[in-house]
């Protein structure tokens, strides 16, 4: 609506919509999915209090979107520099596996916080490895992160080839607990988002990242240490994947080296892209990526709640994704504006 | 950064990735000692195993090894490290060693014809265990010994029919779409409940054979159907364990408010039964040793075997779980 009124006012078609409008389409897409459910899925909006916390499909959407939202936050910054991180899914598996092993194995029996920090530490190390390969060795990001994408699951299986059960109650709180009646996972996402948002706004980091993505050569001539910025964003993406891995292990009270984080990298990239961040780098939107993660999860939950036949789920998902992407494509938008 | 450093780093990363495989010993023939030759046995049998990728497979290997020892069979065991070429090498080595029979757990379905023709020319019978192969000439192997996934699904369905007296609103957690166990376990269960008009599958979705997806799917089922659900049928234990968590988080008691049935019989499932959260599991039996050597004895004494020998799978309920949990091998 705002676009329609703003467009004729400017004489030249602006190459990019103003910042405030980036969120318009993803939010509209999310509202569309919710409106569909309001109309056709009885009980989707039903929220009740059970055992002192909120219970309902909407709460599920918020909770289950957390892993993709967390990896999506890291992915947003990576994509903003014009890169991509394919290794987030396997890094999740590594972090989850190591954390639970250190806590539960009779061999180590670490306390929950130390084990979690160890898990985050190894995830950070994975991120640093990616950052060095991309920033300093200057390997193409897709190839550099492919290395951990392939070998990461092997590393997780090497840590322990078994499904490990996490009995620790404080550990289970991370993924299964509730804060103010809402799943604690939501609090984790908000916390990470706030920290990153503040860092990007209050320091020049956000500007540096965008300039590296827009034009790395110009950024270097302007005195920005482009390599270090890349190292930074990949390290951060690794850390985010580590948090996501621990959250998933906690939610399942179980670490699974074979399945944790499987295909999450694809969902994270999708969340970032439908959230309005260009894969070419430059402008990015953290909130957009969160909305993107919510769109994906709302779609998944809708499919499961409505009981779409298994053969159709992926097709339905693809149709919605195509729709959302079309909505955002400038050419497609112009098609309607000309009428 | 020069090319050398780059390639060094790449090599390093590959080494990290592959170390899993380097750790285990290279494929080698180990001979199981056979003390006596006076029994009906004294036979030399080759066993080509896929590898040791899961606890299920290790249990299968142990079962065949210990049965060989029990019967005084001289077992030549080769671990193929998950590679078909190693299995083919092993089969050729068995021919050279003049074994009397070969047990083969094939890693893939295709590409066995040339080597099996060599084996057939040497007049050595081949017994396949747990997986089939795709060959035009069925005379290349004597028999396949495996579980029947359809029968497993049927057992689960029959048990549920008895437990609920033919009245249940069931939600089904399917395995990975397209996987043989998922298709067959779905089919078997559907067959079993077909004769009970009051047993309905009200929702059926995939949980991809893992705990995380099983839990997420069950969460959605609980929102849309809620108290309407009387039973969960999961195609494997992991999904059932995920569903159990979802049921608990919805403030209900799994195993009581909602009956949970699954298939596989892994250790965690037995623990869940002891805790009263899982009602029953149909074991997909990896202990194929006895059946495999029965087949060896039969074919070496000239008997014809059916092309497929079905292993009896056993159903475990909660009270039995308590007795056997200590002796579970996998």
Q: What local confidence, expressed as pLDDT, does residue B33 receive?
A: 39
Produce one character per residue of B207-229: b if its CB has 16 or more CB atoms within 10 Å, e if not: bbbbbbbbbbbbbbbbbbbeeeb
CB-nearest partner of B16 from A155, A176, A304: A155
- Name the band, by pLDDT with cuts 50, 70 and 90, for residue A338: low
Contact B224 A137 (CB under 8 A): no
- For the segment A172-185, the average pLDDT, to the nearest whole number, is 90
- Name the band, by pLDDT with cuts 50, 70 and 90, for residue B326: confident
- Token representation of residue A338: 């000309």
Percent of chain A at pLDDT exceeding 70: 93
CB-nearest partner of B251 from A50, A161, A162: A50
Q: Which of A242, A245, A241 is nearest to A257 (CA)?
A: A245
Closest-CA distance, A311 to chain B, in angstroms, reads 8
CB atoms within 10 A of CB A285: 19
Backbone angles phi and psi of B260, in degrees to 5: -120, 125
Q: Are B260 and B234 in contact (CB under 8 A)?
A: yes
What would the pLDDT profile of B112-165 be if each residue is shown by its tens digit?
Answer: 999 999 999 999 999 999 877 888 888 899 999 988 889 999 999 999 999 999
Helix (H) or strand (E) holding A178: strand A178-179
- Name the band, by pLDDT with cuts 50, 70 and 90, for residue A128: very high
Q: Does the ipTM exceed 0.85?
A: no
What would the pLDDT profile of B226-239 be if each residue is shown by its tens digit?
Answer: 889 999 999 989 89
What would the pLDDT profile of B236-291 be if each residue is shown by its tens digit?
Answer: 898 999 999 999 999 899 999 999 999 988 888 999 999 999 999 998 888 889 88
Supply the mean pLDDT for chain A.
87
Q: What local confidence, expressed as pLDDT, does residue A54 receive?
A: 86
Q: Cα A136–A88–B215 angle (5° rounding)?
A: 175
Residue spans of beta strands (DSSP E) within chain B: 29-31, 44-49, 74-79, 101-104, 126-129, 143-146, 168-174, 199-206, 231-234, 259-264, 280-283, 308-310, 315-317
Q: What local confidence, expressed as pLDDT, does residue B53 receive?
A: 62
What would the pLDDT profile of A28-44 be if each residue is shown by its tens digit?
Answer: 889 988 999 988 888 88
- Name the band, by pLDDT with cuts 50, 70 and 90, for residue B16: very low
Query: Is the minimum CB–CB distance between A71 and chain B shorter than 8 Å?
Result: no
> Which string of DSSP letters, residue by residue, matches A244-279?
HHHHHHHHHTEE-TTTTTTTHHHHHHHHHHHTT--T
Please tell me the distance from the alpha carbon of residue B235 to that of residue B50, in angstroms, as a whole number. Answer: 24
What would the pLDDT profile of A180-231 be if each residue is shown by its tens digit?
Answer: 889 999 999 999 999 999 999 888 888 899 889 888 889 889 888 889 999 9
Closest-CA distance, A247 to chain B, in angstroms, reads 11
Checking if the pLDDT of A11 tops 70, the result is no
- Name the band, by pLDDT with cuts 50, 70 and 90, for residue B21: very low
Contact A55 B250 (CB under 8 A): yes
Contact B217 A304 (CB under 8 A): yes
Percent of chain A at pLDDT exceeding 90: 44
DSSP B57: H
Q: What local confidence, expressed as pLDDT, does residue B3 receive?
A: 54
Sign of CA dihedral B145, B151, B153, B159: negative
Residues of B in contact with A133 (CB under 8 A): 9
Helix (H) or strand (E) holding B59: helix B55-71
- Token representation of residue B231: 């039973």
What would the pLDDT profile of A231-272 be if each residue is shown by its tens digit?
Answer: 999 999 999 999 999 999 999 988 888 888 888 999 999 999
What would the pLDDT profile of B176-189 be if each residue is shown by its tens digit?
Answer: 887 778 888 999 99
Q: Are B104 and B87 in contact (CB under 8 A)?
A: yes
Please tell me the distance from the alpha carbon of residue B18 to that of residue A153, in angstroms, as a whole number. Answer: 11
Q: Which of B158, B251, B262 is nearest to B210 (CA)?
A: B262
Which region among B123-127, B211-215, B252-256, B323-327 has the lowest average model confidence (pLDDT)?
B323-327
- Token representation of residue B252: 């209900």
Query: Is the minimum CB–CB distance between A154 and chain B shorter than 8 Å?
Result: yes
- Name the band, by pLDDT with cuts 50, 70 and 90, for residue B23: very low
Those residues whose C-beta lies under 8 Å from the C-beta of residue A43, and which sit 6 or more positions away, are A57, B223, B224
- Name the band, by pLDDT with cuts 50, 70 and 90, for residue A311: confident
Q: What local confidence, expressed as pLDDT, does residue B35 receive?
A: 39
Domains and CATH numbers, chain B: 27-146+286-311 (3.40.50.2300), 149-284 (3.40.50.2300)
Q: Which of B324, B138, B134, B160 is nearest to B240 (CA)?
A: B160
Q: Which of A62, A263, A264, A305 to mutate to test the interface with B (most CBs of B within 10 A)?
A: A305
Please tell me the distance from the alpha carbon of residue B224 to that of residue B216, in angstroms, as a whole number. Answer: 13
CB-nearest partner of A305 from B53, B206, B220: B220
CA distances from B32 to A301, B53, B65, B196, B292 (A): 54, 22, 8, 51, 17
| Burial of residue A304 (number of CB atoms within 10 Å: 0-12, 13-18, 19+) | buried
Backbone angles phi and psi of B120, in degrees to 5: -65, -40
- The count of residues in chain A is 339
Please tell me the distance from the alpha carbon of residue B38 to that of residue A199, in angstroms, as a whole number. Answer: 80
Those residues whose C-beta lies under 8 Å from the C-beta of residue B128, and which sit 6 or more positions away, are B104, B105, B106, B141, B143, B144, B145, B146
What would the pLDDT profile of A290-302 be if each residue is shown by its tens digit?
Answer: 999 999 999 989 8
Query: Is the minimum CB–CB distance between A253 and chain B shorter than 8 Å?
Result: yes
Residue for token digits 């790449």? B10
Percent of chain B at pLDDT exceeding 70: 86
What would the pLDDT profile of B79-113 be if each residue is shown by its tens digit?
Answer: 887 788 999 999 999 999 999 999 999 888 788 99
Which region among A137-146, B26-35, B60-69 has the lowest average model confidence (pLDDT)?
B26-35
- For the segment B188-201, the average pLDDT, to the nearest whole number, is 93
Sign of CA dihedral A300, A304, A307, A308: positive
| Number of H-type helices and E-type strands within chain B | 11, 13
| End-to-end CA separation in angstroms for chain B | 50
Q: Spell out the long-range contacts of B272-275 with Cβ–Cβ below 8 A and sequence spacing 24 or more.
A: B272/B240, B272/B241, B272/B244, B273/B316, B273/B317, B273/B318, B273/B321, B273/B322, B274/B318, B274/B321, B274/B322, B274/B325
CA distances from B191 to B154, B166, B294, B315 (A): 7, 13, 31, 18
What would the pLDDT profile of A63-119 be if each residue is shown by its tens digit?
Answer: 999 999 999 999 999 999 999 999 999 999 999 999 999 998 888 889 889 999 999
Checking if the pLDDT of A322 tops 60, the result is yes
Q: What local confidence, expressed as pLDDT, does residue B54 receive?
A: 65
Q: Cα B213–A73–A32 angle (5° rounding)?
A: 65
Q: What local confidence, expressed as pLDDT, does residue B8 receive?
A: 53
Contact B224 A43 (CB under 8 A): yes
For residue A192, give the 3-state DSSP assignment: helix
B2 vs B54, residue with greater confidence: B54
Which region among A147-161, A317-331, B164-178 has the lowest average model confidence (pLDDT)?
A317-331
Q: What local confidence, expressed as pLDDT, does residue A326 receive?
A: 83
Rg (CA), chain B: 23
């Amino acid at each position: 609506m705002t676009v329609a009124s703003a467009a004729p006012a400017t004489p030249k078609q602006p190459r990019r919509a103003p910042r405030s409008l980036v969120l318009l389409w993803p939010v509209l897409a999310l509202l569309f999915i919710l409106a569909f459910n309001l109309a056709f899925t009885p009980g989707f909006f039903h929220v009740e209090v059970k055992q002192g916390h909120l219970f309902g499909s909407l709460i599920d959407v918020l909770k289950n979107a957390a892993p993709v939202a967390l990896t999506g936050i890291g992915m947003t910054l990576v994509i903003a520099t014009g890169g991509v991180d394919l290794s987030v899914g396997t890094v999740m598996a590594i972090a989850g596996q190591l954390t639970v092993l250190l806590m539960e194995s009779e061999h180590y029996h670490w306390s929950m916080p130390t084990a979690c920090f160890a898990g985050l530490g190894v995830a950070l190390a994975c991120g640093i490895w990616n950052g060095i390969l991309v920033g300093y060795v200057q390997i193409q990001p897709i190839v550099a992160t492919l290395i951990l994408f392939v070998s990461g699951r092997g590393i997780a299986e090497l840590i322990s080839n078994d499904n490990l059960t996490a009995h620790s109650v404080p550990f289970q709180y991370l993924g299964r607990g509730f804060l103010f009646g809402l799943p604690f996972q939501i609090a984790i996402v908000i916390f990470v988002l706030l920290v990153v948002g503040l860092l990007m706004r209050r320091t020049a980091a956000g500007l540096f990242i965008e300039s590296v993505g827009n034009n790395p050569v110009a950024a270097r001539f302007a005195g920005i240490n482009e390599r270090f910025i890349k190292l930074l964003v990949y390290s951060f993406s690794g850390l985010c994947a580590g948090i996501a891995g621990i959250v998933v292990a906690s939610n399942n009270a179980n670490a699974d080296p074979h399945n944790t984080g499987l295909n999450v990298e694809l969902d994270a990239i999708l969340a970032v892209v439908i959230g309005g961040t260009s894969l070419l780098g430059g402008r990015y939107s953290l909130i957009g990526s969160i909305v993107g993660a919510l769109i994906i999860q709302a779609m998944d939950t809708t499919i499961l709640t409505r009981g779409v036949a298994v053969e159709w789920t992926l097709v339905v998902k693809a149709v919605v994704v195509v729709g959302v992407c079309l909505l955002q494509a400038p050419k497609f938008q112009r098609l309607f504006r000309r009428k | 950064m020069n090319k050398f450093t780059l390639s060094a780093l790449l090599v390093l990363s590959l080494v990290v990735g592959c170390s899993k495989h380097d750790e285990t010993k290279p494929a080698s023939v180990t001979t199981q000692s056979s003390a006596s030759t006076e029994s009906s046995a004294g036979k030399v049998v080759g066993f080509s195993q896929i590898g040791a990728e899961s606890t299920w497979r290790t249990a299968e290997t142990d079962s065949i090894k210990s049965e060989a020892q029990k019967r005084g069979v001289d077992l030549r065991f080769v671990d193929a490290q998950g590679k078909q070429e190693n299995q083919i090498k092993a089969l050729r080595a068995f021919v050279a060693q003049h074994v009397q029979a070969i047990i083969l757990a094939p890693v893939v379905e295709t590409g066995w014809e040339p080597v099996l023709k060599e084996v057939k020319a040497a007049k050595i019978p081949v017994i396949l265990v747990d997986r089939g192969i795709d060959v035009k000439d069925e005379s290349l192997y004597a028999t396949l010994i495996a579980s029947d996934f359809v029968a497993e699904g049927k057992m689960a369905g029959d048990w549920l029919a008895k437990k609920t007296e033919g009245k249940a609103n069931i939600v089904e957690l399917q395995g990975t779409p397209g996987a043989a166990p998922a298709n067959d376990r779905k089919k078997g269960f559907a067959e079993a409940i077909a004769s009970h008009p009051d047993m309905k599958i009200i929702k059926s979705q995939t949980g991809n054979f893992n705990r995380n997806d099983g839990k997420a799917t069950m969460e959605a089922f609980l929102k849309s159907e809620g108290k309407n659900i009387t039973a969960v049928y999961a195609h494997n234990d992991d999904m059932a364990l995920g569903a159990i968590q979802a049921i608990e988080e919805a403030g209900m008691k799994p195993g009581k408010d909602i009956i949970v049935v699954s298939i596989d019989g892994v250790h965690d499932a037995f623990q869940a039964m002891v805790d009263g959260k899982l009602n029953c599991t149909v074991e997909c039996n990896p202990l194929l040793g006895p059946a495999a050597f029965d087949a060896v004895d039969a074919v070496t004494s000239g008997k014809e075997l059916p092309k497929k020998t079905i292993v009896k799978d056993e159903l475990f309920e909660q009270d039995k779980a308590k007795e056997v949990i200590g002796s579970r091998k996998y």
